[in-house]
Amino acid sequence: MPGSQIARALQAFGRILERGLVIWLVALCAVAFFWPRLPLATWADPFVASKDHLRWWIAATMLAIGSLLPQSAWMEVVRRWPWVLFGTAVQYGTMPLLAYVVGRGLALEGPFLIGVLMVGCVPGAMASNVCTLLARGHVSYSVSLTTSATLLSPLVVPTAMWLTVGRVAPFPVVGTGLELLTTVVLPVALGSLMAHVSAHWRRLAELLGGLVAHATILWIIAVVTAINRDRLEQVTLPLAVALPAINLGGYLSGWWAGRAVGMPASMRRALTLEVGMQNAGLGTVLTLQLFPDMPQATIPCACYTFLCMFTGTMLARYWAGREPSDGQPA
């Protein structure tokens, strides 16, 4: 098959994967859950077997994301630094506190409380950029927020975890920062550099980057489903209430914080989605790394990934039909 046909086939598959992401997620999780009962069960369990290698999936995804970043993204962070610093502060200031208050308020404890706190501590996800585009929001501001949160994550995330998770269970603060540096920041920087110096690499990233990112999210949640097959029935009503409360609280915090400082409507949309849509896939991998003896702690992270993708898409579609008062930015 000629290269152009392969490229078109990959692009078509990427669109199918993206548009039906929730359906693919449910289907793959069902396979992961019922794997021992399937005829293929005589084979090794691929979901459980890949548990210890998920950090490399995250690193590959961050490499792809860095390669897809517009070359202007770094300058946008500098040029718009007051707004970017404000939005990043709202995200990192609101979500850990919100997760702690909700988790404690609903009397969560043990692994579920740790998982909820991890949801609040991780940075924003690139999915918010896609939803901002759909929502007719300020896309370059959204990308700037994600870039800023990613660059600061080795410093801010361990600090937020020390203030919240550290009250529940011990964890290596310095080791967490180094883990984020090696699996998140450095791959993003490397991908951006490679895309800058090599047009061929950038074309390859544009072709495969989205597939890698979506496949990683799908596989991480399927792995969580597989390693918790016998524990999913332990999900309690307080946990089922906590995750939507954090998600909704994040959206409201982003919107009202932007409104309080007179932020243009299109930028408020971007900030709202950025704050509410946490990178819970990264939180899942961090939880597995830091608390290997508590696989149940990954359940809140995996559930939040599914939840924020669903609510973020719904909110974006609602906004898509409504022109922001300041007009859609170029």
- Give the tens place of pLDDT for each residue, 154-188: 999 999 999 998 888 888 888 889 988 988 888 88
Q: What confidence score (pLDDT) does residue 330 get?
A: 41
Q: What are the tens digits of pLDDT across the range 34-81?
A: 888 887 666 788 888 888 888 888 888 888 888 887 777 777 777 888
> Which secondary-structure segment (H or E) carries 324?
none
The span from the CA of 231 to the CA of 153, in Å, is 31
pLDDT value of position 114: 93
Over residues 133-145, mean pLDDT? 84
- Burial zone of 120 (CB within 10 Å; 0-12 exposed, 13-18 middle, 19+ buried): buried
Contact 173, 162 (CB under 8 A): yes
pTM for the whole thing? 0.85
Q: pLDDT tens across 115-124, in order?
A: 999 999 988 7
CA atoms in the 13 A half-sphere facing the CB of 16: 7
Structure tokens that stand for 14 in this block: 């990427």
* pLDDT, greater one: 18 or 154: 154
Higher pLDDT, 1 or 312: 312
189-215 pLDDT, tens digit per residue, is 898 889 888 888 888 888 887 778 778
Q: How many angstroms separate the CA atoms of 301 and 318, rounded?
A: 25
3-class DSSP state of 32: helix
pLDDT score of 13: 73
pLDDT at 285: 86
pLDDT in tens, 243-295: 999 999 999 999 999 999 999 988 999 999 999 988 877 888 888 888 888 88
CATH topology for 52-320 is Na+/H+ antiporter like fold (1.20.1530)
| Cβ proximity of 137 and 325 under 8 Å | no
Q: Is the pLDDT of residue 303 over 60?
A: yes
pLDDT band at 310 (very low <50, low <70, confident <90, very high): confident
Q: What is the pLDDT of residue 61?
A: 83
